[in-house]
Structure 1
Amino acid sequence: MQSHPKPQFASWLIKQVETGQYSGLRYVGPNRFRVPWKHNSRKDCNDEDGKIFKAWAVASGKISDFPKDKARWKTNFRCALNNLHERFKLIADNSKNTDDPHKIYEIIIPESNSQEDYDPDIYSSPTEYFPSGCDLNLLNTFNELDISSNMTGTVETLKCFIVKKIFHSSTKVKHKNHYVLFFPAPPTHPPQVPTINDLEISIFYRKREMLKTNVTCQHLQLHYPQETQEPSVHALCFPSTDGLTDHKQIHYTNRILDSIQRGLTLKVQEDGIYAYRHDRCHVFASTSDQTVAHPNPQKLPLNTMTQLLSFGNYLNELKNFEDNSGRSPEYTIYMCFGEKFPDGKPLDRKLIVVKVVPLACRYFHEQAQLKGASSLHSSNISLQTSYNSLMELINTYIGLPTAEDFSLYKATSEHRKQRITLY
């Protein structure tokens, strides 16, 4: 009997959201839906929690490869979802929530679609308020601030002020039987400075970019396919080789992937970014994509925490760069799995490369490029001042809400008392 062709994951998933037959899988806002994400090791995990993962294993034809392996069902689903970063964007990762573990994704409408092709009934639902990526980033930045105990107000007051200020400036438009809230662009002051925990992760299989995503976390595990058991670690699975066409490339890439189980954990600390290699796949790391052979490329030792990037060195290089007395600072981390690097061969010839960009480092580098040496005399930032850490620089640059902002919040809250839910 002829087997049915494998469906396109994007259209398949949207249809499953619409059916309402999966517990916890539903729309939560315009173009946004949530996916239940309970860890298999939890005692309260049952068949209903993994129903959507099993459904994709069946639809993709992978169920015969692992008919009873719930962890592989979930990995298969997650890899398919991560591979479609141009169609689905992770908005909120609440997978560590003890009461209701889930993730929220946004459906990205292709630019080629005309307005006539857009069906609001497919991508809209009764509205709940969810902060946008910029709003959440602002809240995360305030979470990082070291606020003294004698300061008027609390961190929660600051959060409430930020959210209500954005919420009250939104526009409410009725669409059929429900309301949709359209939020304006985030305020230009204070600036949206990334935190030290904001990372851009890109995974390349030779020249092809297989995955690109932004994460906000202190611990990130790159694995294939064994997921971490630690609740505080954000897990990111290496994509499968399904989209590749070169048979030799597929063969050797799969050999490397098969040697990656728990893989590697990245840890962000105040003084830099560290890596911890868990298993037998060798990993070489560098903060330069140089193609010149290096006599002793940095090979990450097994079961040892190794620093990949020093924030202190970055700040010194950034100051020299702005002072026109040094080269552009190097802050992008390249990790080559299963092959030595650098070894004189182009980076895009390597089978598996992970590129890690600390977004705070990129932000201040771009500011330096925009302002040049004159930024040393800027009223916003002066790198002539000695900063003990990147976090201190971020805090200095973003500042705190002014007395005028608090007055606005107090006056506004008297007239507008609306309840909102943060996820």
Structure 2
Amino acid sequence: MEPGAKMHMKEWLIAQIESGKYAGLCWEDEDKTMFRIPWKHAAKKDYRQTADAALFKAWAVYKGKYREGRDKADPTMWKTRLRCALNKSTDFQEVPERNQLDITEPYKVYLIQHGSMPNRPAEPPQTNEQVIIPAKRSAVKLLSSFLCCSLDNLLREHMYCELTGQKPQNQSPAPVTFISPALTISDFRMQVTLLYHGQRAMKVTTTSPDGCFIMQGIVPLGNERIYGPCTAQQLSFPSPSSISLPPVLAEAMNRLLCHLERGVLLWVAPDGVFIKRFCQGRVYWNGPMAKHTDRPNKLDREKTFKLLDIPTFLNELQSCLHGKGPTPSYEIELCFGEEYPDPNEPKTRKLIMAQVVPLFAVELLQRFNLGEIEEKRPTRTSNTDGEKM
């Protein structure tokens, strides 16, 4: 690297790890492919800003976002900036199953992606005429109605495609390169719909980047290592009495809910959608990565499962844009207490189901005009359309 050249985030972080200046920032493995990054919450009693926010502060200083003695110290914002930078970078991938968030000195683990160029100088500042995001060099044409939008606005709003060259004249099609599976997804929201015997009981859009619990009751405090991050959104099953059900079904549902107290934890990571089952009650699923489509897929207890693989989804989307494949699937279904898929019984007869839709996938398909993304509705709906019925 030339003297004075700015380091990329990957180079900068490796330099900080090797320096040994930051307690808890260290290599996770001998091959130096993964590293730990300290992740103590500012609300903890033993939080020490000078030590626990030191790395986050250093990144803010390096990026020119904080000037000592001139700007107000904001450890929460420093941490948010580094987290967002890690999530958006194609050089890093979080390894959720290695995270330890409920110990005295909590940390997250990130994998350093292979194949990137660690010793090149930083790119010059981007301009409106040339906006570059790392991508495969295979061009696809977007539909004309999509291209009628302002490309400047489009690129500000969207991170999934790359535009090179001059601005289009007279609405002429512009070459757009679809991003490779190395793209890091930054929209971790999910739309979760709970169905009781085919009737919609709740519909929620999650907001926490740590995902959500679907469960009966609430998560006990101080059990992050067992249950996952306490910042995950908690979605409690509504009472069966909240919708119109025959008494025999309501009674069966209440019996089932007693076994769903610890529920499941769902989250979207840069490489996919994951789930971990904690409840005593059995949980089955169907979706893009399900092994079977004509017989049940069971989730083992306290084991992490990948429900959707983002690189595969992006590859399938690129094939679709080239006319070489169907629109990729992304919807996930969970069935609590009953086997699913079940060729002998329609899902509208199942006591409790959840439909999970990762919103990054919906946004991508809508942006590329691959047909109207219709809400998947149950056969019967309750009388109102609020989040809880």
TM-score for both structures, normalised by structure 2 = 0.46
More helix by percentage: 1
TM-score for both structures, normalised by structure 1 = 0.42
